[in-house]
Structure 1
């Protein structure tokens, strides 16, 4: 969909999603967002009466839908969850290096900035993280892991991914995320599955 065919609202949401990934919520200036979205002044509050917070929630929900679509395709192409997770990591590392370690996870970037008063934003973030963990859990259950084990490894992978990505951005190299993921994949490969299924 081109910039011309997308609605002003869609362009604002896309601009905010991009900015969240690069600069976080507090780095998202309204004038910059309007310029990036090629949107006239006044359009933000027309489409998002709640202002920047409402736009950020819409952008987070948009990111969540993109993640859902990406995962659906990823698991179709790679029935083995470990191969799918490795592909996900490879894509992330390529994007990270290609952006000179500017583009991290937009969810984590906003989460680190959010406070207790950011109720709507935190609820949207929690929903996205939950959907991510649920998708991984379902795939691990599909290859023989019991429910608790699948949920535990899904939780561990998401935590590893977010923490490793944060360290990689700070260090300016991909080794923290690569080393941690390799260790987790080794653990998952050697973790007993049939015994878990019998429980």
Structure 2
């Protein structure tokens, strides 16, 4: 199994720990990496980790999830602000994630889905962090659709559908070692939403 890339050594220890955990979540999930290997990747001793994250791996994973969502929503905001057509913005968003997956040899997927699949009922803090994460992403997409003139309730439904296609497509592409599953899902979904007969981006008639 390939070694995780080490974060830049000049970053503060807290950021190195979060970066190492984020990479671990993308590639192996929370339970796929031991604490010793994680600390080696972060170039941080155990005492430093517990200083910043008294709850250990779980608290560090929650911090990593929160930071991933900050980056995801910032990227969405930028795309939605610079791309007049929200569906085209979604295409660019999914294409970016697809390219990142392909660049890692289909090894590093979305950490949200990876952790969600392995979470257990007793992992309350993780599950709450994931729920918040998915909700924030859906809200960002829905807001972009509302700004394009879609009613709020329909926008939330379409946002949930887009996120489902994004996460499910990445998972299938990672398993297949091929971009075909997510590209097919993206092309089909966005073509349906853009079709005049679907009225997806139009307000319903009174």
Q: Under a length normalisation based on structure 2, what TM-score does the superposition of the two structures give?
A: 0.90
Alignment check: 8 A CA contact 2:9 2:43 kept = no
Alignment check: 8 A CA contact 2:149 2:203 kept = no
Q: Does 2:66 correspond to 1:77? A: no
Q: Does 2:186 correspond to 1:165? A: no
Q: Pick the aligned partner of 1:155 from 157, 160, 165.
A: 160
Q: Pick the aligned partner of 1:143 from 148, 152, 157.
A: 148
Post-superposition CA distance 1:43-87 (Å, at most 9, x none): 111221111111111111111111122112222221321111111
Alignment check: 8 A CA contact 1:16 1:28 kept = no
Note the residue ranges of structure 2 that are not aligned, 5 or more in a row.
1-6
Match of 1:120 in 2: 125
Q: CA deviation at 1:100?
A: 1.0
User: What is the rounded CA distance, in whole Å, between the counterparts of 2:10 and 2:70 in structure 1?
Assistant: 20
Q: What is the SS of the residue equivalent to 1:124?
A: helix
Post-superposition CA distance 1:6-43 (Å, at most 9, x none): 32111111110111011110112211211111112321
RMSD, aligned CA: 1.6
Match of 1:46 in 2: 51
Is the alpha carbon distance of 1:188 and 1:31 closer, same or farther for their aligned partners in structure 2, counting shifts above 3 Å? same
**Count of matched residue pairs:** 197
Q: CA deviation at 1:5?
A: 4.4
Q: CA deviation at 1:3?
A: 3.3
Q: CA deviation at 1:110?
A: 0.3
Is the alpha carbon distance of 1:147 and 1:40 closer, same or farther for their aligned partners in structure 2, counting shifts above 3 Å? same
Match of 1:88 in 2: 93
Q: What is the SS of the residue equivalent to 1:153?
A: helix
Match of 2:181 in 1: 176
Note the residue ranges of structure 1 that are not aligned, 5 or more in a row.
none
Q: Does 2:135 correspond to 1:130? A: yes
Post-superposition CA distance 1:136-170 (Å, at most 9, x none): 11111122222222111111011111111111111
